[in-house]
Structure 1
Amino acid sequence: MEYRRLGGSGLKIPALVLGTATFGGGTEFFRKWGDTDSNEATSLVSVALEHGCNMFDTADAYSLGQSEEILGAAIRGRRDKVLIATKTGMAMGDGPNDIGTSREKIIRSCEASLRRLGTDVIDLYQLHAFDAQTPVEEMLHALDVLVRSGKVRYVGVSNYSGWHLMKMLALADRHGLPRPVVHQAYYSLVGRDFEWELMPLGLDQDVGTLVWSPLAGAKLSGKIGRNRPAPAGSRLATDATWDVPEDRLYKVTDVLETVSAETGRSVPQVALAWLLSRPTVSGIVIGARNAAQLVDNLGASDFQLDPAQVARLDEASAVTPAYPYWHQRRTFTKRNPPPVG
């Protein structure tokens, strides 16, 4: 397993991190992702550790706390061997203060996560979504309380826009408060919007990226391709979260399948290896319903695509960026070069 620096921090994390949204299946939404129970989770954690994957990502909102509880049980007796990342901000109830990232919500949620995880410290605590109803200074001061009390080691954010993240970084620097070291964001071969603003920001401000849904909701899992559509009624066919036009999807899967045949690697491994070659990527959060799937995904960490293969995948997945990025890149290229690691 390759280990990378977590953004601007001194912490080394595995290039591939096991995501635990499949643990629990306690709500209708998350049952579509998976319903891994405690015994199965313990086995997956063991397999991950055997392959050098010692970081696990969860969130309080995953099955309304069940994912954290199951992960806590799975790491019992080996907490010193693992890194835990969790998140808060999504709705955890119907009350007016059960959603968002107010000071009250952040501190209360952290205490609850610590109890569910069965630990006294969270290695990476992330704000799950931007809360426009709460002052950024309030969020930062709450995170500072948790860091100073020893309950949180590093802080990050997830699903922020560029200006949201830049505002938080600027205020953290101005007031001497904990600075987000990582941004957990969606990024894949069929979802490259991340590159236009968030990637350059990460390079400029030394904020690492934890990629979520690197296989675009299993659309890049090798299960579907040209003349091989998703089965009717399956999650692949019905989940519009990763709605990708078929012509664009198949243009990418065609090249993935070709490179897979050239390298003797699975389609998911090729898609993950492409992401691992991208600037700012500190780690990729992968999911797995069983040990075989986990082992296959973890195999992406021990090989590299050659430059020609990367270029073909780049070309197949390229899209016209939103304004003003197409203008900056196409008419003022010399002053706005694409990001490089």
Structure 2
Amino acid sequence: MTVNKEFIKKLLFELTAAGGTAGEEKEIFSVISENLPENIRPEIETRNGNMRAFIGDKNKASVLLDAHTDKIGFAVVSIDSKGFLKLAKVGGCDMRVMQGSPLIIKGERNIMGVVCNTPPHLSDGREDRAIKEDNLWVDCGLSKKEIEKIVSIGDRATFFSKPCELLGDKIAAPGLDNRAGVAALICCAHILKDMGYQGNVEFLFSSREETNGAGAITGGFETTASTAVAVDTSFAEQPDNLKGCNPGTLGKGTMICYSSTLDKKVTNKLVNICEDKSIPYQKEVWTMRTGTNADKLGVSKGGIKCGLVSVPLRYMHTACEVININDVKYTAELLAEFVISGGVKDE
């Protein structure tokens, strides 16, 4: 099967439409399974919400490819006397975009709600301020007695926003962090199959990156691989200048990270592969922690040599994140070539 733009777009639409906030990742497992090539078996669902898949012998994998499957969301923490739901963040949602936003409340059945908002006429000049998490209330249109038949404390909520295609090979959708990374792993698996790869590699679709990184921590302990590459998303340039980072550019390739927490040999090999195979790429630098699963994988067991590649993404942690489809393809091609190369051997 050829990994082309139409396949990637369809895959991303399916992945971003699926549920799976941190701790509830199993909601996306069926979508992943249905899109993996038939030569990848078995798929192992772990106790903490990971999915592990393999080409070859799962006990001989020399390279691990990781992408976290969870996306940001919310949890119901209380119901007031009028039936309004109070929510708290599950992960790092951008509160500046919340007021008036529609949400899906995942109770006994899925229902719609709208984040409450003070009209600008009554805001005392504070309409430009982000809503505070302790004032995150949702209106579902029901009384307390009615809503309590459907929604319970602890139930989850997610953005109500459908993926859509923009011009210039771009798509906008909620949860592209990190469903774009998941798509890159799936595309990599198809590329390896088409190339007749006969080695041993593990694909880790990990849980809870947006909260405590438990999926990467436990996944690192379970793998036999000595080399890993974490796949995530990172900041792309947009109209307002992003301070505190060196943003990438949509459509210019995967972002290869340099960091003190990463293995430099893995990083250099990723760069060399891109140069040798003419795969578009960009460089980014995080001098300390990367804020991704790479930080966790690198310190698992006796240590796993780990690199990090990211799909450039605009408007992170909102309901309309934006990526370029081509960057997913470039990332998948790099991962496949890295696997074929055997990763980085122990000295």
Report the TM-score, using the length of structure 2 for normalisation.
0.26
Report the TM-score, using the length of structure 1 for normalisation.
0.26
More strand by share: 2
| Structure of higher RCO (CA pairs closer than 8 Å, 6+ residues apart) | 2
